Amino acid sequence: MNQVTVASSRFVLALSLFCAAFAARAQTSRQISADGTGVFRPAPLGNDAVQVPEIDDFGIDDADAAAGPEGDGFINRTLPGNSGGSASARAGKKAKSNPEVNVSFDGLNFRQQRLANNGNQFSVEPPDQGLCAGNGFVLESVNDVVNVFDAAGNQRLGVTDLNSFYGYPAAIARGNPNRFGPSLTDPTCLFDRATQRWFQVVLTLDRINVDPATGLSLSQSLSGRNHLDIAVSNTASPLGTWTIYRVPVQDDGTEGTPNHHCNPAPGAATSPTSAPTPTGSTSPRTSSASSAPGSMPRRCMHFRRAIW
């Protein structure tokens, strides 16, 4: 299995791809190189005025208008045509204990999300919360901001937008004209007790016609290229620097991905999730759409890591 050593944290990360469904079952390994550093960058909040655009439509409105009254949304997320069987369920007995809330505090809210990074954000719903805790810290991420609290609920750093944390330009650089950075979504996080490391994962969707000098585009339309961005803390504390890994998941045969022959555009991954396995590994998972009606190939990504 290929492995990558990150010298700064002596962290080893390797990826195994388990590809199944509508294709021959296979297992492949791919090397993942570190691709940047994640740092919390709290910035002043913007003003409360409503600004245009408030919603990121990914260029779909323009595409639908050009396609005529029927529309032609280009994000291909084909759903299965047949519903699966389900097992019956019965309610279990009530717990004999009397659980009580020990600590309650306010986490991230919509206003913080919208006004983060001097207001260079979109209004985003749903929040898709990712929450993890360990070593006296609580890390919370939502679409599209992140913050760290102590066990009593006190902020340790301040609100940072996810684009800045992952080293990208703002989601929208408001001005005349507006310019657009990549769209980050579906955050999830995990504190792994075995390695004493924090994992923060998002799905990133790239724009078309990106200016390489700024990383921004004049268009909200998506290119079809998308990737899982995995941030791994360099220490047992989430307050320091993180190492970023980026794994392409557009599944159109480019950048080492399998080709699912998505039409008219590369498939967009579904929500990534993180879960510890019996070996202590972290397994973000993703599904990609296929051009075949009623099909949805699934990939399980198993990330193996260890501390020297």
What was the pLDDT predicted at 269?
56
Q: pLDDT for 33-51, tens place per residue?
A: 788 899 898 999 998 889 9
**H or E stretch covering 17:** strand 11-20
What was the pLDDT predicted at 41?
87
CA distances from 14 to 3, 6, 173, 247, 303 (A): 5, 11, 35, 11, 5
What was the pLDDT predicted at 295?
44
Taken in order 58, 265, 272, 126, is the CA torsion positive or negative?
Answer: positive
Which regions in the chain score pLDDT beneath 70?
Answer: 1-28, 30, 61-96, 262-308
**H or E stretch covering 62:** helix 60-67
The candidate with the shortest Cα–Cα distance to 128, out of 62, 72, 184, 181, is 184
* Structure letter (DSSP) for residue 78: P
* The residue type at 74: F
What was the pLDDT predicted at 101?
81
What was the pLDDT predicted at 99?
78
Q: What is the pTM (predicted TM-score) of this model? A: 0.75
What was the pLDDT predicted at 270?
52
| Distance between CA atoms of residues 57 and 293, nearest Å | 25
What was the pLDDT predicted at 15?
54
